[in-house]
Amino acid sequence: MKVRALTLAILTSLSASAIAADTVDPLKKAFIDDSEIKLQFRLRYEQADVDNVDDQNQTTLRTRLNYKTGDIYNFFALAEVDDVRSTDDEPLIADYEYTQINQAFIGYKAPADTLLKYGRQRILLDNQRFVGGVGFRQNEQTYDAFSIQNTAVKHLTAYYAYVNNVNRIFPEGSGKDEHKNETSLLNVNYKGLDFVKLSGYAYLIDNINVAKFSTDTYGIRAAGGIKLDKIKLNYEAEFAQQSEGGDNPTSYTANYYKLGAGVGFNGFGAKLGYEVLGSDDGKAGFVTPLATLHAFNGWTDKFLFGGAGNWENGIVDTHFILTAKVAGLKLLAKYHKFDSDFGDIDMGKEWGFAATYPFAKHYDVGVKYASFSGADAGYGFSNDTDKLWLTLQAKY
């Protein structure tokens, strides 16, 4: 009887402990055991030398703290805080002192391979030519949005986001840091073919703050490669058409197209590209207000045009890129020749190079330089410009 009583007491105690564990453990598992914490430091020196303007230089340090919970009943959460300290406030250098929430969203892993997110989040679509995060700058562009992604069909990813606010790279209080939106972003891509990745998209931007940024853009993109023994041939082709949207006061239609072809061999690569941001006979140009603009049309950022990424005469960018990877060192050299799509305007040329090297697992160091010159005088982008960046980054 005593053994039975003791056994019963032990079983009762274990059952009670199991019930308590079921109550506590899911929270502990999600918020502690399965959570992830990431810390990143990015130290950068930037120098800008523009003709007829005093040279400017600035050193900034960005500290980024990222916390992601594990799953609890298929829900999870992510929070990311950025802080940037700066030695100066230079108007030609688009990095500013600030502390803010870069991302903060709740996610839900729904049935049928569906992922839902609500809150401030990073949105990077295709090569970020139309929708991106401007990740090169210390203050990243993120989006207050509801998004849904589905991967139920093999090799097919369907993505939709409704954006009500764009958190831009500018500092609080500048009047340019946020743009209210009623924007829909739809992107579908298919990776089921060895030689090509296909994308189709509809970006319906309704910018409440800046009406000329309101646009309806529809396009298709193909990018891929073919491997022949040790040589890889790669290519990209893209076409899009844009017209006014929302309260945009200008009625227009402009096209975008890009063609590129390249070859790679034993860590070395070469690529020739031709990109056109078209113009509707000088009335309006094809704009990209949500793009990662620094990655396109030259690193000196001569053609930002207030965040539109184009002007009424359009841009034709013929470029050549060389890449190499030697003993872990990544090298890149670029040359651009810019012309207007309308009006026969010489918009100048730019060359640049970059080198990055990762070391000791958590660190990488980089140098980048770009030089722009030769544009027809009388335009806002015509001053010769040289820019230099030195970057040291640590990730934990």
Coil, helix or strand at residue 212: helix
Residue with tokens 């999600």: 30
Identify the pLDDT of residue 24: 61
Identify the pLDDT of residue 74: 97
Phi, psi torsion values for 10, nearest 5 degrees: -65, -45
Residues forming beta bridges with residue 226, ordered by sequence position: 233
Coil, helix or strand at residue 290: coil
Burial tier of 292 (Cβ tally within 10 Å: 0-12, 13-18, 19+): buried
Residues forming beta bridges with residue 223, ordered by sequence position: 197, 236
The DSSP H or E segment spanning 276 is: strand 268-277
In contact, 275 and 317? CB cutoff 8 Å: yes
Q: Angle 289-180-217 (CA atoms, 0-180°, nearest 5)?
A: 40
CA 232 and chain centroid, separation: 26
Coil, helix or strand at residue 19: helix
In contact, 271 and 320? CB cutoff 8 Å: yes
Q: What is the pLDDT along the chain (396 residues), one digit of tens a residue?
A: 443 443 444 334 434 444 444 556 889 999 999 999 999 999 999 999 999 999 999 999 999 999 999 999 999 999 999 999 999 889 999 999 999 999 999 999 999 999 999 999 999 999 999 999 999 999 999 999 999 999 999 999 999 999 999 999 998 888 899 999 999 999 999 999 999 999 999 999 999 999 999 999 999 999 999 999 899 999 999 999 999 999 999 999 999 999 999 999 999 999 999 999 999 999 999 999 999 999 999 999 999 999 999 999 999 999 999 999 999 999 999 999 999 999 999 999 999 999 999 999 999 999 999 999 999 999 999 999 999 999 999 999
pTM for this prediction: 0.92
User: What CA–CA distance (Å, rounded) separates 36 from 302?
Assistant: 39
Distances, alpha carbon 20 to alpha carbons 13, 26, 60, 74, 205, in Å: 11, 11, 49, 21, 50
Taking the CB of residue 146, how many other CB atoms lie within 10 A of it? 16
Question: How large is the C-alpha radius of gyration of the chain?
Answer: 25
Tokens standing for residue 112: 């049928």
Identify the pLDDT of residue 173: 82
CA 103 and chain centroid, separation: 14
Bridge-based pairing of strands 178-193 and 196-205 is antiparallel
In contact, 15 and 9? CB cutoff 8 Å: no
In contact, 299 and 350? CB cutoff 8 Å: yes
User: What CA–CA distance (Å, rounded) separates 182 from 194?
Assistant: 37
Residues forming beta bridges with residue 225, ordered by sequence position: 234
In contact, 51 and 385? CB cutoff 8 Å: yes
**What domains appear along the chain, each with residue ranges and CATH number?**
35-395 (2.40.160.10)
The dihedral region occupied by 282, where left means phi > 0, alpha psi between -120 and 50, and beta the remainder, is left
User: What CA–CA distance (Å, rounded) separates 195 from 237?
Assistant: 13
Coil, helix or strand at residue 231: strand
Residue with tokens 């900034």: 60
Q: Angle 389-394-396 (CA atoms, 0-180°, nearest 5)?
A: 155
CA 163 and chain centroid, separation: 16
User: What CA–CA distance (Å, rounded) separates 47 from 54?
Assistant: 11
Identify the pLDDT of residue 132: 98
Of 306, 276, 321, 317, which is closest to residue 380 (Cα–Cα)?
A: 306
Coil, helix or strand at residue 140: coil
Residues 6+ apart with CB under 8 A from 307: 168, 176, 210, 213, 289, 293
